[in-house]
């Protein structure tokens, strides 16, 4: 009897975690509305790698552009989420390009998005602009930015990663614990294992901390002191993984996973990094 009950409970657990694995990939999207209000705005759509389309804003400054910055949002958001950050670069004279990842905003649907597919969308934008860029990513977009920079070193000259994690499996477990402690303790380990099986045990191979040693470009890591999704030790480990002397860390005191850009010190950190590392 106990064998049947145990087998039934285990089977139910596996079925539930498999359903949860599908559910976390389809987690409700939370787009915002904040269109750019500076420069000359081009609103267009470009091809995605799977035949879909990605919505893109290109904002050109008045006068001669100082260079180009591509910005990638995080999970569940859209291109509008990066407008406030892009505005800082725009005021510095940069052309800024902001897109919505597939299955986000007005871009075409795509099931089972992950950091690698965020990177594919960044690569689509890099191919479209067809020139070296400064690359900025937040959260899943930050992990995607690291992957895209590692795969396209000739196309990325400087890297900004905000709210990024170090190792994928550890980060997912941390994220689910911050969402719900019971879910994180009971179901998350198996959900992450299902993901690892689904992605053929490749998740940690593209962890930012594994790719960082090969990126010999200036990097600014931006992380909230109170980030519950990916606690601050992720930023320390990521900083130390980049080649010596290439990565700097700005810690947003009191900030959570997404609020570093709201701090008064944030624009100054961006300006200081750009003025020291970007010619002109």
Element of type H or E holding 140: helix 140-151
Classify residue 40 by burial, with Cβ atoms within 10 Å: 0-12, 13-18, 19+.
Answer: exposed
- State mean pLDDT over 197-205: 79
Q: Give the CA count within 13 Å in the CB-facing half-sphere of 189.
A: 4
Quick one: DSSP state of residue 256? Answer: -
d(CA 115, CA 139) in angstroms, rounded, equals: 9
What pLDDT, in 10s, does the model give residues 111-163? 888 999 999 999 999 999 999 999 999 999 999 999 999 999 999 999 999 99
The proportion of the chain whose per-residue pLDDT surpasses 90, expressed as a percent, equals: 71
| Confidence at residue 256, expressed as pLDDT on a 0 to 100 scale | 96
> 12 pLDDT band (50/70/90 cuts)?
confident
Asked if residue 2 has pLDDT above 80, the reply is no
Q: Go through the domains of the chain in sequence order and give each one's CATH number.
A: 31-167+207-277 (3.40.50.1820)
Convert the pLDDT of each residue in 39-95 to its tens digit. 999 999 999 999 999 999 999 999 899 999 999 999 989 999 999 999 999 999 999
Q: If you average pLDDT over residues 159-178, what whole number do you get? A: 91
Distance, in Å, from the CA atom of 51 to the CA atom of 45, rounded to the nearest integer, reads 12
At 57, list the tokens. Answer: 């804003």
What is the C-alpha separation between 278 and 272, in angstroms, rounded? 10
Which run of H or E residues covers position 88? helix 83-91
Tens digits of residue pLDDT in 225-252: 999 999 999 999 999 999 999 999 999 9
């Amino acid at each position: 009897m106990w064998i049947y009950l145990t087998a039934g409970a285990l089977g139910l657990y596996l079925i539930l975690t498999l359903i949860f694995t599908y559910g976390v990939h389809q987690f409700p999207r939370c787009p915002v509305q904040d269109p750019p209000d500076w420069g000359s705005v081009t609103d267009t759509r470009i091809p995605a790698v799977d035949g879909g389309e990605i919505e893109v804003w290109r904002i050109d400054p008045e006068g001669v552009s100082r260079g180009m910055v591509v910005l990638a949002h995080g999970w569940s958001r859209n291109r509008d989420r990066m407008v406030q950050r892009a505005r800082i670069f725009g005021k510095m004279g940069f052309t800024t390009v902001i897109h919505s990842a597939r299955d986000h905003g007005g871009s075409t649907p795509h099931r089972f998005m992950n950091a690698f597919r965020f990177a594919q969308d960044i690569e689509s934008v890099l191919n479209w602009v067809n020139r070296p860029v400064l690359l900025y990513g937040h959260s899943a977009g930050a992990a995607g930015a690291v992957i895209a920079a590692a795969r396209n070193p000739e196309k990325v000259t400087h890297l900004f990663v905000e709210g990024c994690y170090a190792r994928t499996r550890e980060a997912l477990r941390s994220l689910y614990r911050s969402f719900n402690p019971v879910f994180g303790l009971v179901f998350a380990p198996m959900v992450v294992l299902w993901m690892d099986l689904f992605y053929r045990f490749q998740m940690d191979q593209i962890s930012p901390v594994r790719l960082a040693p090969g990126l010999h470009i200036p990097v600014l890591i931006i992380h909230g002191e109170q980030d519950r999704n990916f606690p601050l030790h992720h930023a320390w480990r990521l900083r130390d993984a980049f080649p010596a002397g290439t990565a700097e860390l700005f810690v947003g005191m009191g900030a959570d996973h997404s609020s570093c850009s709201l701090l008064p010190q944030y624009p100054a950190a961006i300006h200081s990094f750009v003025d020291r590392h970007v010619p002109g």
